[in-house]
Structure 1
Amino acid sequence: MALELFLALMVLILIAQFFGDERKRSNERTYDISTRYEIPQNVNHLVQVAYNDCHTNKTSHPWYANVQPVG
């Protein structure tokens, strides 16, 4: 019984890998701060590195974000 339950769970996890979520990927710069204000190059680089990865649609996801029970 436990083996059958384990195998069924593994099959469900395997099937779930084919149905990932669609992450929104947009390159829209309408609300980008650099389009409205003159920003020094070093500050703009800091904003891109520290802010854009979390607070925009330009997030860099690690490889395991596509594994469905985790991602």
Structure 2
Amino acid sequence: MLHTHFINGEWVAGEGHELSSIDPAKNVSIWQGKSATSAQIDAAINAARNALPQWSMMSVEARLTIIKAYGE
């Protein structure tokens, strides 16, 4: 299963239609996966709304630590 969406602290597979990203310079596929459904998008929005109060109370340094860990 390809996990392409980060929703409410978890990687989940899209349940929508197939997507593909093509490198136009080389004409090769560089990514394939499924889009999120409306329900998955709603879940992501609700999770973000619920997380906002705690996130906004965190220091910039604490936020940067989380963002940097996400990129690793």
TM over 0.5: no
Q: Which has the larger radius of gyration?
A: 1
Question: TM-score scaled to structure 2, two decimals?
Answer: 0.28
Structure with greater strand share of residues: 2
Structure with greater helix share of residues: 1
Q: Which gives a bigger RCO, structure 1 or 2 (Cα 8 Å, sep 6+)?
A: 1
Question: TM-score scaled to structure 1, two decimals?
Answer: 0.28
